[in-house]
Structure 1
Amino acid sequence: MPNLTTVHPAPPPPPKLQAASQDAAIRDAAKQLEASFLTEMLKSAGLGKSREGLGGGGEGEDQFSSFLIRAQAEQITEAGGIGLAESLYHAMKDSSND
């Protein structure tokens, strides 16, 4: 009786598809790094701080302002950002080809 639990690995994807998948992963990582950098820059610039004199949004505003800042940073990156993602992409791609 044959062993039904034997698992055979799937063949590797064609080199072209594998390269495209790796390229997409590198680009995504570069965009995430740029968004993280922009998040910290926006926080340092004071975005998301409570407005003391205007009544503000209270505890809720303080709790969720980090989500808003991250979403804004991601939108900036998707709109072209500051060019950091592109530089990071090329640097990571060059280092992966070595």
Structure 2
Amino acid sequence: MQDLQPIPVAPSGATPAPTGQKLHAQAVQLEAAFLSEMLKCAQVGRPMESFGGGIGEEQFASFLRDAYSEKMAEKGGIGLAESIFHALTRGQGNV
């Protein structure tokens, strides 16, 4: 039999601090989710009355909104991601 080695586990509640790049990426994802909801309220992707694509178009409209919002957030969006990122780094003491 082989000797079993214990797997090192971090103490409960201790999580490594995310890097700046990871925090910024998460802030951009959050802005994209917010923008997607705003586009939904603005009825972007809503099927047209005439020449509509039927139920399939209605079901896939959310994918179109999500793609739009992700691209908007990647290009700077409305500046929400930057505000979130700065708030998160300030909370870590990394001003």
TM-score between both structures, scaled by the size of structure 2:
0.80
Which stretches of structure 1, 4 residues or more, deviate above 3 A after TM superposition? none
Q: Percent identity?
A: 46
CA distance in 1 between partners of 2:42 and 2:72 (Å): 15
| Secondary structure in 2 matching 1:62 | helix
Query: CA RMSD for the aligned pairs?
Result: 2.3
Residue matched to 1:13: none
Gaps of 5+ in 1: 10-17
| Secondary structure in 2 matching 1:97 | coil
Shift of 1:55: 2.2
CA distance in 1 between partners of 2:38 and 2:67 (Å): 13
Higher helix share: 1
TM-score between both structures, scaled by the size of structure 1:
0.77
Q: Structure 2 vs 1, CA of residues 5 and 46 (structure 1 numbering), >3 Å: closer, same or farther?
A: same
Shift of 1:97: 2.3
Q: How many residues matched? A: 88
Q: Does 1:48 align with 2:45?
A: yes
Gaps of 5+ in 2: 9-15
Residue matched to 2:3: 4
